[in-house]
Amino acid sequence: MTVDTTLAPGAVRKRRSRSATSLTRSSGLGLGIALTWFSLLVLIPLALVVIQSVDGGWATFRDTVTSPQTAAALRLTVTQAFVVTLVNVVMGTLIAWVLVRDQFPGKRLLEVIIDIPFALPTIVAGLVLLSLYGPQSPIGINVANTERSVFLALLFVTLPFVVRTVEPVLQELDLEVEEAAASLGASRFTTLRRILLPALAPAITAGAALSFARGISEYGSLVLLSGNLPMKTEVASVRIMSYIENGNAAAAASVATILLVVALAAIVVLQVLSSVVARRG
Amino acid sequence: MNLPRTRLMAAVAIGAIVALLAACAPSSSSGDDAESTPLSLVGFAVPKAGNNVAQAAFAKTDEGQGTSWKESYGASGDQSRAVAGGLKADYVHFSLAPDVTRLVDEGLVADDWDAGPNKGIVTDSVVVLVVREGNPKNIKGWDDLAKPGVGIVTPNPGSSGSARWNILAAWQHIIAEGGSDADAEEYLTKVFDNVKALPGSGRDATTAFQGGTGDVLISYENEAILARQNGEKIDYVVPDDTLKIENPAAVTKDADPKAKAFLDFVLSKEGQEQYVAKGFRPLESVKGVDVGTVEGANDPSDPFPTPKKLFTIDGDLDGWEAVNTKFFDEKDGIITKLIAESGKS
Amino acid sequence: MASRVTQPTTTGTQIRRAIVVAYLVLLVAWPVSLVVLKTFEGGLTNLQTAFADPSVVFALQMTVYVAVWAVAINTVFGVGISLLLVRYDFPGRGVLSALIDLPLSVSPVVVGLALLLAYGGSEGMFGPTLESAGLQVAFAPAGMIMATAFVSLPLVIRELVPVLHEIGTEQEQAATSLGARPWQTFWRITLPSIRWALVYGVVLSLARSLGEFGAVKIVSGNVAEQTQTATLVVEQKYQDFEQGSAYATSFLLAAIAVAALVVVTVLRPKENLDGD
């Protein structure tokens, strides 16, 4: 999959050649070590969870997941994460664009702001969002205990993802390619569609996958903000906690497994999307 | 490479220094000398303040000389499961008896833990209704919770064991007035319609309430008193009829003997007085406890008014096992179904 | 590197700027400023109280310890896996790539449980064996590091992979054909080209590791001055009605992440007009 954009000298470096080779001895060993660590840390523990979910049999799994309250929680979680991801794709790319391509005083301050949602403990995030956008909101916006509170909290915690995956790629992009395209008569929209988007697609989809994944798993910031009202504002993580509290480990594991499957599906879809857009460019 | 060598070297150096400093695990500052006996306490969050003053008082006694504590606090069920899963504990203090029974089943706690006159219980309180300062909605008792326009906050009984005290108090109020199970269900349906938030734990519920949600918070008396001692601007109402909250504690099988000494201290007059100062009601099985004045109570000189009717889990409701099955069973529990139904409206 | 041709400030640019600034202020800057405000309510008292409290100091040290180790592990494996995913072809590459993002999608509750299922001292799969060999994972720093590494695992990799795709392999191939050994090629050609992606990945990982709460809470047992991290102590302080200390500690956590980012931004050379 070689995309040849040799439009001008200086564009040589930008060829995205897929010269993947087969494994050598040392890289094979490296892969082995990496996979062992990955299994010990992630795969085996998660597999144990999946195994536990079918502990009570397939019927229990199905009943748990289709019970009205759990189904509602799953629906809410997935929908809100999806919507938030869409917003992040647009806003994240826009923010990365402004940070890389624009210059104005105070820009570096914005850079700093972007990573803070990560470092702030999620409970504190929930607390401050509750103060500003809850019943005591100084600007009169009260979303506490409604579906929109879930949207807000997720938007906050997933902010850095798309921005930070797009930024380095945007920085690597050579403006000369865009300028050459412009000088050949391409409109800004065409440049966007045929040069920028394919170049940014892997980064945007990588960020989107991370954003969605993080969105469906969020818990801490929602604790105070969403109210956990069943069928209305209760998210999947809270359902899992409920099942654990009731000693129903299999049900808890079932909900967790569904979320894993959804996340995997989203990741795969996004990777396919990414290669489709990248190839089209 | 347009990054000057010196800057790169500086960055690497900074990174290395940070990494080196951080690579050494921190060790706790509290004394590790030969004289001290470190004891580990795993408990639920609510009585932490009480535990800490009791521990300090204990350390001043002959028995408690040289004891120091490593503590872990969290939600009762979570903590109980953690101990079952391997978290080391000499002394455990949970919100309700089933959380100790779990450890008995695992072989970590002797099964005569509740054989004494106090039946394993170390702290008492009652369910109360916490309201905004000045009680603007004029909440007097349980019936007011079913009135339209009253926003309620209560921890979620589905995801928090210690939240179950609250809901059972409401239920029993109707039953004690002569109502049938159906009447109680009807009442609770109205109550759940009024519920604005179901946070995961008692403290989270207090926080949500303070953040402006709701008009009334169903909580524990000691929680309300402690909050007021810390300057929170709330009032609380002890309803005429309410449920007695009884929190158990136990010493694990291979605990240090000083842990048992601490348990004995907690069950003594001096020990109970420490908890009273933090808002807990003294145990009836302990004689001679001087209640004194308790800051933060509605009336500090008479901090623990006796409600006209005081229900207990064992006396009125057949014990926790029956309660958990009847009300909180995942599929058929009365409360479980009510909560699910309330979401559909 | 992107060249910095001075572009005229069109209305489009100004609108974009305004939207971005407004969004970031309303969503992040304003809420976070509340943390700063509450921290410095009453001057430095809150910070002083926090630093005087041994459990807070210990928790901060523990957080830094756990975060640095988790980030170090994730960086090493991150770089390795990224290179393997992009530069090599092997059966199951697509599957591995999809699985990499999975850890981030796991609720902290489930992460904690999964790790306890595997490494719990009494019922875990490997736990009892490891503990009898002297290595305690659950309810100990090792488990905390694993939980933190778990949740931030994809971050470095997802920063590096797109950039590795973007820069291609000609320079590396040129270097190899000129006789450079793999390590030299990596150190002198690959690394400089990916350095900013790597740095962003590390900073993002660090920030995420500092802020991790749920998974660590379950795996650590939350024992004060033994296995309690800063996020856990924030919850504890807030619940003990010591909001001042809670906000002060949160402020410190955010400040560490900000400091890391500032160091990165300062070390990054200003873009030249001709790029590179």
Q: Which of B76, B201, B330, B331 is the best mutation test for A, with the most CBs of A within 10 A?
A: B330
Q: Judge: domain C45-267, CATH 3.40.50.620.
A: no
Superfamily of domain A57-280: MetI-like (1.10.3720.10)
Do A116 and C32 lie within an 8 Å CB cutoff? yes
Question: Is the Cβ–Cβ distance between B77 and B71 less than 8 Å?
Answer: no
Do B86 and C121 lie within an 8 Å CB cutoff? yes
Q: Which of B78, B81, B101, B159 is the best mutation test for A, with the most CBs of A within 10 A?
A: B159
Instruction: Give the count of Cβ contacts less than 8 A between chain A and C.
Output: 314
C 11-40: CB under 8 A from A: 13, 16-17, 19-21, 23-24, 27-32, 34-35
Q: Report the run of H or E that residue A102 belongs to, with start and end.
A: none
Question: Is the Cβ–Cβ distance between B206 and B227 less than 8 Å?
Answer: yes
The alpha carbon of residue C13 is apart from the nearest alpha carbon of chain B, in Å, by 29
Check CB contact of C253 with chain B, cutoff 8 Å. no
Both structure tokens of C13: 């640019």
Both structure tokens of C254: 């955010």
Mean pLDDT of chain C: 86
Inter-helix orientation angle A147-172/A68-101, to 10°? 40
Instruction: Give the count of Cβ contacts less than 8 A between chain A and B.
Output: 84
Question: Is the Cβ–Cβ distance between C149 and C66 less than 8 Å?
Answer: no
pLDDT of residue B21: 65
Q: Which of A52, A222, A229 is the best mutation test for B, with the most CBs of B within 10 A?
A: A229
Chain A residues within 8 A of B198 when measuring between CB atoms:
227-230, 234
ipTM for the assembly: 0.86
Both structure tokens of A227: 């109210």
Residue C3 has pLDDT above 50, yes or no: no
pLDDT of residue B39: 94
CA dihedral of residues C90, C93, C94, C99 (deg, nearest 10): 160
Instruction: Give first-to-last CA distance, chain A, whole Å.
Output: 12
Do B77 and A245 lie within an 8 Å CB cutoff? yes
Do C239 and B82 lie within an 8 Å CB cutoff? no
Q: For residue A208, give the 3-state DSSP assignment.
A: helix
pLDDT of residue C6: 52
Question: Is the Cβ–Cβ distance between A126 and A59 less than 8 Å?
Answer: no
Question: Is the Cβ–Cβ distance between B274 and B57 less than 8 Å?
Answer: yes
Question: Is the Cβ–Cβ distance between C251 and B96 less than 8 Å?
Answer: no
B152-153 and B195-197: which strand pairing?
parallel
pLDDT of residue A8: 40
pLDDT along chain B (345 residues), means of 10: 59 70 66 73 93 95 92 91 92 94 94 92 95 93 93 87 89 92 94 91 85 92 93 93 95 94 95 95 91 90 92 92 90 88 72
Q: For chain C, give the percent of residues with pLDDT over 90.
A: 40
Burial of A270 (0-12, 13-18, 19+ CB in 10 A): buried
Check CB contact of C274 with chain B, cutoff 8 Å. no
B91-93 and B241-251: which strand pairing?
antiparallel
Question: Is the Cβ–Cβ distance between A141 and A68 less than 8 Å?
Answer: no
d(CA C142, CA C140): 6
Distance of CA C86 to the CA centre of its chain: 22
Residue A281 has pLDDT above 60, yes or no: no
Do C123 and B85 lie within an 8 Å CB cutoff? yes
pLDDT of residue A5: 38
Name the residue facing A34 among C23, C77, C98 (closest C-beta): C77
The alpha carbon of residue C31 is apart from the nearest alpha carbon of chain A, in Å, by 5
pLDDT of residue B1: 44
Chain A residues within 8 A of B330 when measuring between CB atoms:
243, 246, 248, 251
d(CA C10, CA C8): 6
Q: Which of A97-101, A221-225, B6-10, C167-171 has the lowest mean pLDDT?
A: B6-10
pLDDT of residue A54: 86
Check CB contact of A173 with chain C, cutoff 8 Å. yes
Q: What is the DSSP letter of B107?
A: T
Half-sphere exposure of B152 (CA within 13 A, CB side): 29
Check CB contact of C141 with chain B, cutoff 8 Å. yes
Name the residue facing C84 among A31, A116, A120 (closest C-beta): A31
The alpha carbon of residue B292 is apart from the nearest alpha carbon of chain A, in Å, by 36
Q: Which of A145, A222, A255 is the best mutation test for B, with the most CBs of B within 10 A?
A: A145
The alpha carbon of residue C222 is apart from the nearest alpha carbon of chain B, in Å, by 5
Instruction: Kindly indicate the confidence band of residue C92, based on its pLDDT and cuts at 50, 70 and 90.
Output: confident
Burial of C121 (0-12, 13-18, 19+ CB in 10 A): buried
- What would the pLDDT profile of B102-140 be if each residue is shown by its tens digit? 999 999 999 999 999 999 999 999 999 999 999 999 999
Domain boundaries, chain A: 8-53, 57-280
Check CB contact of C225 with chain B, cutoff 8 Å. yes
Check CB contact of C236 with chain B, cutoff 8 Å. yes
Check CB contact of C159 with chain A, cutoff 8 Å. yes
Residue C275 has pLDDT above 50, yes or no: no
Q: What is the largest CA-CA distance in chain B?
A: 85
Helix, strand, coil percentages (3-state) for chain C, rounded to 5, are 75, 0, 25
Both structure tokens of B337: 């179904």
Greater pLDDT, A4 or A137? A137
Q: For residue B36, give the 3-state DSSP assignment.
A: coil
> Taking CA A122 as the corner, what is the angle to CA A118 and CA A123, rounded to the nearest 5 degrees?
155
Question: Is the Cβ–Cβ distance between A129 and C31 less than 8 Å?
Answer: yes
Question: Is the Cβ–Cβ distance between B77 and B160 less than 8 Å?
Answer: yes
Chain A residues within 8 A of B339 when measuring between CB atoms:
69, 230
Do C72 and B85 lie within an 8 Å CB cutoff? no
pLDDT of residue A280: 64
Question: Taking Cα atoms as reference points, which of B96, B100, B39, B42 lies closest to residue B73?
Answer: B42
Half-sphere exposure of A80 (CA within 13 A, CB side): 31
Alpha helices in chain A (DSSP H): 25-38, 44-53, 58-66, 68-101, 107-119, 122-133, 147-172, 175-183, 188-191, 197-217, 222-225, 236-245, 249-280
pLDDT of residue A16: 45
Q: Which of C204, C217, C238 is the best mutation test for A, with the most CBs of A within 10 A?
A: C204
Residue A172 has pLDDT above 70, yes or no: yes
Both structure tokens of C211: 């802020």
- Please tell me which residue of chain A has the smallest CA distance to C20: A95
Instruction: Give mean pLDDT, residues C68-93.
Output: 91
Place of tokens 């509740």: B114
Q: For chain A, give the percent of residues with pLDDT over 90.
A: 31
- What would the pLDDT profile of C202-231 be if each residue is shown by its tens digit? 988 998 899 898 899 999 999 999 999 999
Domain boundaries, chain C: 45-267
Instruction: Give mean pLDDT, residues A119-138.
Output: 87
Bridge partners (DSSP) of residue B125 are: B245
Contact residues of B toward C, CB < 8 A = 1-4, 7, 10-11, 14, 18-19, 22-26, 28-30, 40, 42, 45, 48-49, 70-74, 78, 82, 84-88, 106, 203, 207, 226-227, 230-232
C 53-82: CB under 8 A from A: 73, 77, 80-81
Q: For residue B326, give the 3-state DSSP assignment.
A: helix
Question: Taking Cα atoms as reference points, which of C211, B47, B141 lies closest to residue A120?
Answer: C211
Do C117 and A42 lie within an 8 Å CB cutoff? no
- What would the pLDDT profile of C134-192 be if each residue is shown by its tens digit? 888 999 999 999 999 999 999 899 889 888 887 878 888 888 888 888 778 888 888 88
Do B23 and C54 lie within an 8 Å CB cutoff? no
d(CA A93, CA A89): 6
Chain A residues within 8 A of C253 when measuring between CB atoms:
119-121
Rg (CA), chain C: 22
Name the residue facing A223 among B161, B204, B330 (closest C-beta): B204
Residue A12 has pLDDT above 50, yes or no: no
